[in-house]
Chains A and B, each alone.
Chain A
């Protein structure tokens, strides 16, 4: 909530001119949910300290009940850290009060604009996501900053609760004031997972305008764009494309952080998995297919491309995922012939459902691991006893392979909602038993590159009804 900028540049009065703020005044400006105050706690011949203080109104902030904390805990947005941290509000505060300096304007002393000054910055306090310290360094160090971090613990009374996600950040660098403010304007929100406003398209413009010059060279530019735009994939792609356009020379995506690599790997695996599932479904000669737990419809889109499938049905328990799937399929605008082939509805794999009757095949991709093991009995009956499609393709992670994920602690799972990640034997035992009980035969295949000891990252069982 507090940004302190100190410089020993002399004369110290220059800073006031550049900031366009009188050193002997305490000034306040209105924001949508409160105020921002600017003032100078220190001003001597040798040193000047400028402060920007956010004074957010906690009651106004939560009016209308917009959820700031994400899903899960509704009360979270009433008791939240927004008013005490440097968040995107800080960027709003900067542009609101220091727009001249941010945009490189200085009416009275234009010659100061290009002057590099020794700056020391302190931000109290800065929230950062997991791996925050490394991320903060990766963001600021390439820009020439000396970074010092002080991490805060959660609660002194309960030391076992460990560290918090908050830091006090100290920065040192010699650069122009405009450079400094631009960096802060862009990078503070990058560290903030909880944005206070909706990410709109014009944010890309803001990002490119602010970050234009230095951002193109920043090794973390992809991550900055992604995080800045709140991981809104389509928006960030546009932003990246525009950045690369400016760059004129697309380089290999070097220097991308590890997590990104992992993400790419994960996505590739998922793509492989889906292709394999489509391949299997084609082999069964199925004409009508169920995608159970279709999520946002990645598999559905692949299925639609295959003429063989005349009736494609996607079901998911999450209504919001189905909505996403409809958007991504452009369902509402689909041509009638196309639309005839596909339908989507909400349903649950734990309730018997006559809508699932009469299909040739069902794909259940990365779904069962999201069910509690003691509920699997219901799942088995819904699929194998009641819906009873001629073929069933089930995929699930191979837990053995987790040993090869460096960041995964022993016994941990790949996704927080996974209830189990079976070994190959566990999966095969389970699948063989239900196949036998329900008059199916089953065969197994690995998905993804196979390790000699641990097998492939994912596994698949293909069931056929033995008529």
Chain B
């Protein structure tokens, strides 16, 4: 015979010692699904039969069961379970995790059980009284099992019956519709607003035909040219003008397979009323009953059955989407219990009553961290808006608001306004906390939660799958983020580190463009873009058209029209006024270039180099670069003089050192010249130069799908319109297969760097480029000979030094660059996709954490 159990259940095997429970379990379940009290006793005491170990053993058993149920795994408890108290604990566990308890009783005759135990050396000592006692407890159990709350009970009274079990069939839970992928149109609380429902369906291109009524059809035939499916979020009835027709339409669609429906609290109440239960006729039920009076009893019975059959919630689209009338917590999704059902129907309330006499609802969504998007209704809101991957689309049609549908997976909201106020709401339909212009999500996002950043973390990115952030790196990032970073709402992106090219094989060079070009050429990239590398400071610039845009898009008030921050998320400018004047200039220049219209946006995030270097790096220059220059240029002449004097005295062995230190002196001169090139005095705003190289994101778009040519050309257009702040980056597009084109760009690099330029950044034509083995470096830098003095030291290019410096490894740097690139883009995508701040923050935090990994900083 086949035993059927729900796919997510807690199965209790019940039987005396020696009844054959373990054998049964092994035969019908996976070994990992079985939690055995004997084994637990063994683990904690090395003796499977030790009664002294019972307490520890059952604690362990309990712990394992908890972990399994939490993770949604069917679990079989292999213990005698003959005592009511033992079963009570396990049933409570099943309830706690919203799983269904199932009992399988193996009522093997005591005689056989005793014989079996005798054959086992470890149980030979077990007295007969033990089994006798267990058997009498088992007999008691027969009477009480049903009342104890088991969803299914199977009982086998002989060895033959037990052996006759051929298999265990796992039944899918009713709420599991993971294999349905839509596309769906999810419609919020209708409350009898039939006309608006029809309009909404038509607006979404559904064709509603009236046909003759039969057993499955109630007068409607609904279809969609693209075979879309409707999901009703419940509360079809009450309060509104035409609940019967809404029911007819919904039932027709369900029977036709073009709709799915979850019940609302009003639907349940109607069902109770129709079942003859004593229900108060408040909250619109009276109207519904009145409207139903004209209907036949048969119809009412069909309605009752229909409402009774509704399942509390559904898990759809591979677990990516969950629908429930009043929402659902993550740990309840896909589970079944009375608690889950009532949560889905009524939501969570605190038990308090507010000033309008309505129950105070607990905001479960504010704590929601689940993977699935949850679409729900129940609580009327003026506008549907995403909040922590959940969205309430009950926009109070019956109260004079509108009827809203969410199109999935497009996530577009469609709504039609209510024809009138059918019912006065107890509480006015206004936004909570109207004084702020921010959305609920933005208000909630004012404060991030530490649990979302600390410890070891795994961040899913679309470019490169999972990226692991080690705990020690989160630790470092938390400090930097807390002490120095700007308001996290601004921080939607941090730039990745950039690897240099492979070390040059040419004798005089540490870096040379050939290796950079070869990298892409060998990975099969046909075209590359070579951009001049500016020696300033990396700056991310976010600028909005106005402060209203800042509030609307970034949820920030009173912090100006944008921000300019460094690659570690700090304010670029120490002076907030100067920063705002700078940003206003950027905005005005963009306005002049018709940027806003061209990109249909009110904000932009630019990846840039801000010059001069000395503006941001003043203290670095003074404490480090100029200091080294000052020390060396004052020490070396005295050294050379002393050596020359010694040589003049005719002392042997000095010549080599005279030359060595004279060379050092010359190198220092070149070194000072090198850093001086990147410095100029900054008196006011007009002394700054801003060279953008990526238009990272604008409203609704991350521009990582464009080519670098697109980026640089569009930026060029802005620069043309700009009077002086913007600086266009010179670039060359190189066809990797064309040797002349390659040679020309190398020549260009030589010219640039001889004039003191920092060097060149080489990028594949596509912003995101893949080779055979995955994502390619988004950019590779190739720095000039002179510039490298300020990185590797003034005399790095003396042959003996260069020889040693050439032994450098790039693997770590490159791996880091890829991971940071993936995280950076992820942050932007999440921001543009209007995900909660913690999701964007997670990516940005990840970049910062990775930056704390130890890598040779000269690379």
Mark A residues whose CB is within 8 Å of B.
1-2, 4, 24-26, 37, 39-43, 49, 51, 53, 55, 58-59, 65, 69, 73-76, 78-81, 83-85, 122, 124-125, 127, 152-155, 157-158, 160-162, 164-166, 168, 317-319, 346-355, 370, 372, 374-375, 377-378, 381-382, 386, 417
Contact B449 A352, beta carbon cutoff 8 Å: yes
Nearest-Cβ distance from residue A428 to partner chain B, whole angstroms: 22
Residue of B450, B452, B635 touching A84 (CB-CB under 8 A): B635
Contact A73 B634, beta carbon cutoff 8 Å: no
Between A and B, 23 residue pairs with Cβ closer than 8 Å are A24-B649, A25-B651, A26-B653, A26-B654, A39-B642, A49-B642, A53-B642, A59-B801, A65-B854, A74-B857, A80-B628, A125-B631, A154-B629, A158-B676, A161-B622, A164-B626, A168-B634, A317-B478, A346-B478, A349-B482, A350-B448, A372-B486, A374-B559
Contacts of B746 in A (CB 8 A): none
Contact B625 A84, beta carbon cutoff 8 Å: no
Contact B635 A353, beta carbon cutoff 8 Å: no
Contacts of A349 in B (CB 8 A): 482
Q: Which residue of A lies closest to B652 (CB)?
A: A26
Contact with A along B777-793 (1 / 0, CB 8 A): 00000000000001111
Nearest-Cβ distance from residue B557 to partner chain A, whole angstroms: 10
Q: Which residue of B lies closest to A22 (CB)?
A: B651
Contact A164 B627, beta carbon cutoff 8 Å: yes
* B476 contacts chain A at the CB level, 8 A cutoff: yes
Given contacts A26-B652, A39-B642, A155-B672, 19 further A-B contacts (CB under 8 A): A1-B635, A2-B635, A24-B649, A26-B646, A42-B645, A55-B657, A58-B801, A65-B854, A75-B858, A78-B858, A79-B790, A81-B631, A84-B632, A317-B479, A319-B479, A346-B454, A347-B450, A350-B482, A382-B447
Given contacts A166-B627, A317-B478, contact A2 B446 (CB under 8 A): no
Contact A381 B482, beta carbon cutoff 8 Å: no
Given contacts A53-B639, A125-B634, A125-B635, contact A351 B857 (CB under 8 A): no
Contact B447 A352, beta carbon cutoff 8 Å: yes
* B207 contacts chain A at the CB level, 8 A cutoff: no
Contacts of B482 in A (CB 8 A): 317, 348-351
* B638 contacts chain A at the CB level, 8 A cutoff: yes
Given contacts A59-B804, A317-B482, A351-B450, contact A346 B635 (CB under 8 A): no
Q: Which residue of B lies closest to A353 (CB)?
A: B450
Contacts of A26 in B (CB 8 A): 646, 651-654, 657
Mark B residues whose CB is within 8 Å of A.
446-454, 475-476, 478-479, 481-483, 486-487, 559, 614, 620-622, 624-632, 634-636, 638-639, 641-643, 645-646, 649, 651-654, 657, 660, 672, 676, 679, 681, 790-796, 801, 804-805, 854, 856-858
- Distance in angstroms between the alpha carbons of A152 and B449 in the assembled complex: 51
Nearest-Cβ distance from residue A413 to partner chain B, whole angstroms: 13
Q: Which residue of A lies closest to B660 (CB)?
A: A55
- Distance in angstroms between the alpha carbons of A55 and B795 in the assembled complex: 13
Contacts of B672 in A (CB 8 A): 155
- Distance in angstroms between the alpha carbons of A165 and B486 in the assembled complex: 33
Contact A73 B479, beta carbon cutoff 8 Å: no
Q: Which residue of A lies closest to B622 (CB)?
A: A161
Contact A85 B631, beta carbon cutoff 8 Å: yes
Given contacts A2-B635, A348-B481, contact A153 B642 (CB under 8 A): no
Given contacts A74-B857, A124-B634, A166-B630, contact A4 B478 (CB under 8 A): no
Contacts of B792 in A (CB 8 A): 78-79
Contacts of B632 in A (CB 8 A): 81, 83-84
Contacts of A166 in B (CB 8 A): 627, 630-631, 634
Q: Which residue of B lies closest to A165 (CB)?
A: B627
Nearest-Cβ distance from residue A346 to partner chain B, whole angstroms: 6
Q: Which residue of B lies closest to A370 (CB)?
A: B483
Contact B628 A81, beta carbon cutoff 8 Å: yes
- Distance in angstroms between the alpha carbons of A348 and B447 in the assembled complex: 12
Residue of A69, A157, A164, A378 touching B631 (CB-CB under 8 A): A164
Nearest-Cβ distance from residue B437 to partner chain A, whole angstroms: 16
Q: Which residue of A lies closest to B681 (CB)?
A: A160
Give me the 6 closest cross-chain CB pairs, A-B, nearest first: A41-B645, A351-B450, A348-B482, A74-B857, A164-B630, A84-B632
Contact B649 A41, beta carbon cutoff 8 Å: yes
Residue of B479, B626, B639, B801 touching A2 (CB-CB under 8 A): B639
Given contacts A318-B479, A351-B448, contact A84 B624 (CB under 8 A): no
Contact B630 A2, beta carbon cutoff 8 Å: no
Given contacts A37-B657, A317-B482, A381-B446, contact A84 B793 (CB under 8 A): no
Contact A152 B630, beta carbon cutoff 8 Å: yes
Residue of A73, A79, A317 touching B793 (CB-CB under 8 A): A79
Q: Which residue of A lies closest to B675 (CB)?
A: A155
Given contacts A161-B622, A164-B626, contact A124 B649 (CB under 8 A): no
Given contacts A155-B676, A164-B627, contact A374 B478 (CB under 8 A): no
Nearest-Cβ distance from residue A10 to partner chain B, whole angstroms: 19
Contacts of A155 in B (CB 8 A): 626, 629-630, 672, 676
Nearest-Cβ distance from residue A83 to partner chain B, whole angstroms: 8
- Distance in angstroms between the alpha carbons of A229 and B639 in the assembled complex: 29
Contact A374 B487, beta carbon cutoff 8 Å: yes
Contact A352 B448, beta carbon cutoff 8 Å: yes
Contacts of A164 in B (CB 8 A): 626-627, 630-631
Contacts of B679 in A (CB 8 A): 158
Nearest-Cβ distance from residue B805 to partner chain A, whole angstroms: 7
Residue of A41, A43, A162 touching B642 (CB-CB under 8 A): A41
Residue of A78, A124, A353 touching B638 (CB-CB under 8 A): A124
- Distance in angstroms between the alpha carbons of A131 and B834 in the assembled complex: 54
Contacts of A370 in B (CB 8 A): 483
Residue of B447, B628, B635, B652 touching A124 (CB-CB under 8 A): B635
Contact B634 A152, beta carbon cutoff 8 Å: yes
Contact A353 B624, beta carbon cutoff 8 Å: no
Nearest-Cβ distance from residue A146 to partner chain B, whole angstroms: 20
- Distance in angstroms between the alpha carbons of A353 and B641 in the assembled complex: 65
- Distance in angstroms between the alpha carbons of A113 and B10 in the assembled complex: 94
Nearest-Cβ distance from residue B652 to partner chain A, whole angstroms: 7
Contact A76 B624, beta carbon cutoff 8 Å: yes
Contact B450 A85, beta carbon cutoff 8 Å: no
Contacts of B559 in A (CB 8 A): 374
Q: Which residue of A lies closest to B624 (CB)?
A: A76
Residue of A79, A375, A386 touching B625 (CB-CB under 8 A): A79
- Distance in angstroms between the alpha carbons of A287 and B487 in the assembled complex: 35
Taking each of B451, B476, B629, B642, which has the highest tally of chain A beta carbons within 10 Å of its own beta carbon? B642
Contacts of A152 in B (CB 8 A): 630-631, 634
Contacts of A80 in B (CB 8 A): 624, 628
Residue of A53, A79, A85, A125 touching B791 (CB-CB under 8 A): A79
Contacts of B449 in A (CB 8 A): 351-353
- Distance in angstroms between the alpha carbons of A58 and B622 in the assembled complex: 20
Contacts of A39 in B (CB 8 A): 642-643, 646, 651, 654
Given contacts A65-B856, A352-B448, contact A84 B795 (CB under 8 A): no
- Distance in angstroms between the alpha carbons of A53 and B643 in the assembled complex: 9
- Distance in angstroms between the alpha carbons of A448 and B446 in the assembled complex: 36
- Distance in angstroms between the alpha carbons of A180 and B116 in the assembled complex: 97
Nearest-Cβ distance from residue B443 to partner chain A, whole angstroms: 11
Taking each of A80, A168, A351, A355, which has the highest tally of chain B beta carbons within 10 Å of its own beta carbon? A351
Nearest-Cβ distance from residue B136 to partner chain A, whole angstroms: 47
Contacts of A160 in B (CB 8 A): 681
Contacts of B475 in A (CB 8 A): 319, 346
- Distance in angstroms between the alpha carbons of A39 and B657 in the assembled complex: 12
Contacts of B635 in A (CB 8 A): 1-2, 84-85, 124-125
- Distance in angstroms between the alpha carbons of A179 and B679 in the assembled complex: 46
Contacts of B643 in A (CB 8 A): 39, 41, 53
Residue of B453, B614, B645 touching A351 (CB-CB under 8 A): B453
- Distance in angstroms between the alpha carbons of A124 and B642 in the assembled complex: 12
Taking each of B449, B646, B858, which has the highest tally of chain A beta carbons within 10 Å of its own beta carbon? B646
Contacts of B614 in A (CB 8 A): 158
- Distance in angstroms between the alpha carbons of A44 and B858 in the assembled complex: 49
- Distance in angstroms between the alpha carbons of A377 and B646 in the assembled complex: 69
